[in-house]
Amino acid sequence: MLVSPKEGILDPQGSAVRGALEHLGFGVSNARVGRLVDLEIDAGSESEARRLVEEMCEKLLANPLIEGYEIEVAPE
């Protein structure tokens, strides 16, 4: 799962990365910094796995007011 700031939300880490890359001579118009959460869970199906991870995100792993998340279920 990838968790990142929603559009329009201040991203100080992204701003620092963009500034540093520009200082190094790289033309970067925007940078956003998120985090990757890699989970192994026991679920009976892909839909059950997605449901469980969505619940985890809503309760703990992401702040739904300022962050969005993408879930990717890898095949076994």
- The encoded tokens of residue 48 equal 């059950």
User: For residue 75, is it within any domain?
Assistant: no
CATH code assigned at 31: 3.30.1280.10
With a CB cutoff of 8 Å and minimum separation 6, the contacts of 11 are: 5, 31, 32, 33
Domain span at 46: 2-70
Contact (Cβ atoms closer than 8 angstroms) between residue 14 and residue 31:
yes
pTM, to two decimals: 0.80
Condensed to tens digits (0 to 9), the pLDDT of residues 4-63 reads 999 999 999 999 999 999 999 999 999 999 999 999 999 989 999 999 999 999 999 999
Number of structural domains the chain divides into: 1
The beta strands (E) that lie in 1-76 are given as 2-5, 35-36, 67-70
- Cα–Cα distance, 25 to 28 (Å, whole number): 9
The confidence band for 75, taking pLDDT boundaries of 50, 70 and 90, is confident
